Amino acid sequence: PAGPAPRRVTVLGATGSIGASTLDILRHAAGDGGPVPQVVALTGNGNIAGLAAAAREFRAELAVTADPARYAELKDALAGSGVEAAAGPDAIVEAAARPADWCMAAIVGAAGLAPTLAAAAQGGTVALANKECLVSAGDLFLAEIARAGATLLPVDSEHNAIFQVLDPAQRPALDRIILTASGGPFRDWSADRMSRATLREAVAHPNWDMGARISVDSASMFNKALEMIEARHLFGLAPSQVEVLVHPQSVVHSMVGYADGSVLAQLGAPDMRHAIGYAWNWPERRALPVERLDFAALSRLDFLAPDETRFPALRLAREAMEAGGLAGCALNAAKEAALEAFMEARIGFLDMARVVEATLARLAPFAPARDLGAVFAMDEAARAEAEAVIARDHARLGNGGVLA
């Protein structure tokens, strides 16, 4: 008997953590009675062997690396496979623009902006993992989704949870959303100890297995800060309606509170294949290769208020939401520059928030995000300003790369 029609699929950021989980879901989907994935394009960056292997396995039409210098290597790795090779940022955007029914947007950072917009423009379903897209250019991105008649499905686990429990018919009675946060590896550390934290300590996330950069963001709670701004755009909220709650077990993925006092939560094992699989099967649900919750074994779920003194990222996010316009873009870009500086041991762990705060103060007030050009200009200005802040304070303190 004829099954459902094959679904044309593109995975942007196929070699990353979300990309790997997405390929896992696609592998599983091939035999589950739902649509059969037919891969159009897979994209990656430095991991050429991994990209080529995935492209061969899924018989992709096209594989693209963001790095133009690796083109020959990718072409060699794909020799005889029938998979087309391409390289460079423009080729990634072109891959995203190839007609597909379902596109996973999982490139990390602001590099995902243009490709994700291109995926939205063709009007299919965009499964969105790249939160920076909404943080930096939320208004523009949502306008493009609406213009193209595309479907946007949030994959970030918190936003996916809210999407699952938020009944559009009850949207007018929505009171608040509660984003849960694991608290990261430094949840119980003193500020003094945090100031000396190493990269190795910062990437040791207790619950989730993620890329290095998002793991550091999780330790500083800048990940949650981005998610506050992301939620604000996705669900059309006032800044005061976005709450954060530390929940060390990461089992409650987030909650929605209504005017009548009811709170609805979505729960599941901390495994991104949950949210990715939900976005793949939506609006239906099908079995997924994820662990079932055993409540008796869990026995308890803990919740506590976040500490904004040790985690100023949350306050900075609220201020950026209040400021609006390009403030989200500036926060994300300054954060990326500070994150890079921390990963290169040029600044200490707690300096990341200081650099972001100083950068935002110097760039305020923020204009609306009129077009992508304005977003890229602010992104560049904020990175440059953050580097200037790092150079200035580093030179002043001269204490071997770790600021006071």
131 is in an annotated binding site: yes
Among 132, 351, 357, 379, contact with ligand NAD (rule: CB under 6 A): 132
Partner in contact with 129, chosen from ligand NAD, Mg ion, none, beta carbon below 5 to 8 Å by kind? ligand NAD
3-state helix, strand, coil in the chain (%, to 5): 50, 15, 35
Cβ distance to Mg ion smaller for residue 70 or 159: 159
Kindly provide the residue ranges of all beta strands, DSSP E only, lying in 227-372, ordered along the sequence: 242-246, 252-258, 263-267
Can you tell me the distance from the alpha carbon of 230 to that of 134, in angstroms, rounded to the nearest whole number?
5
User: Does 19 participate in binding ligand NAD (rule CB under 6 A)?
Assistant: yes
| Residue reference for tokens 């594989």 | 63
The pair of three-digit structure tokens given for residue 393, joined into one six-digit string: 């304070």
DSSP character for 304?
B
Can you tell me the distance from the alpha carbon of 44 to that of 107, in angstroms, rounded to the nearest whole number?
8
Partner in contact with 85, chosen from Mg ion, ligand NAD, none, beta carbon below 5 to 8 Å by kind? none
How many residues touch ligand NAD (CB under 6 A)? Answer: 26
- Strands of 62-65's sheet in order across: 84-87, 62-65, 37-44, 7-12, 102-105, 125-128, 151-154
Can you tell me the distance from the alpha carbon of 74 to that of 84, in angstroms, rounded to the nearest whole number?
10
Identify how many contiguous H helices and E strands the chain contains and give both numbers.
Answer: 17, 11
The pair of three-digit structure tokens given for residue 353, joined into one six-digit string: 């928030």
Beta strand pairing status for 102-105 and 84-87? unpaired
The minimum distance between CB 118 and ligand NAD, in angstroms, equals 12
User: Of the candidates 343, 349, 337, which has an alpha carbon nearest to the alpha carbon of residue 385?
Assistant: 337
190 is in an annotated binding site: no
Cβ distance to ligand NAD smaller for residue 61 or 158: 158
User: Of the candidates 296, 312, 382, which has an alpha carbon nearest to the alpha carbon of residue 350?
Assistant: 312
Can you tell me the distance from the alpha carbon of 81 to that of 60, in angstroms, rounded to the nearest whole number?
9
130 is in an annotated binding site: yes
- Contact region with ligand NAD (CB under 6 A), list: 208-216, 258-266, 319-327, 396-404: 208-216
Q: Which parts of 299-338 interact with ligand NAD (CB under 6 A)?
A: none
The radius of gyration computed from the CA coordinates of the chain, to the nearest angstrom, equals 21
262 is in an annotated binding site: no
- Contact region with ligand NAD (CB under 6 A), list: 187-195, 210-218, 262-270, 317-325: 210-218
Q: Which parts of 257-296 interact with ligand NAD (CB under 6 A)?
A: 272
The minimum distance between CB 109 and ligand NAD, in angstroms, equals 6
Please provide residue 221's backbone torsions phi and psi, each rounded to the nearest 5 degrees: 65, 15
What is the Cβ-side half-sphere exposure of residue 230, based on CA atoms within 13 angstroms? Answer: 27
Cβ distance to ligand NAD smaller for residue 48 or 378: 48
15 is in an annotated binding site: yes
Cβ distance to Mg ion smaller for residue 136 or 157: 157
Cβ distance to ligand NAD smaller for residue 178 or 389: 178
The sign one gets for the Cα dihedral 347, 348, 349, 350 is: negative
Q: Which parts of 90-129 interact with ligand NAD (CB under 6 A)?
A: 92, 106-108, 111, 129
Q: Which parts of 146-185 interact with Mg ion (CB under 5 A)?
A: 156-158
The minimum distance between CB 214 and ligand NAD, in angstroms, equals 5
Q: Which parts of 155-184 interact with ligand NAD (CB under 6 A)?
A: 156
Partner in contact with 107, chosen from Mg ion, ligand NAD, none, beta carbon below 5 to 8 Å by kind? ligand NAD
The pair of three-digit structure tokens given for residue 38, joined into one six-digit string: 């037919």
Residue numbers in the known binding site for 1-deoxy-D-xylulose 5-phosphate are 131, 157-158, 182, 205, 218, 223-224, 227
Residue numbers in the known binding site for NADPH are 15-18, 47, 130, 132, 211
Q: Which residues bind ligand NAD (CB under 6 A)?
A: 13-19, 44-45, 66, 92, 106-108, 111, 129-132, 156, 208, 210-211, 213-214, 272
Q: Which residues bind Mg ion (CB under 5 A)?
A: 156-158
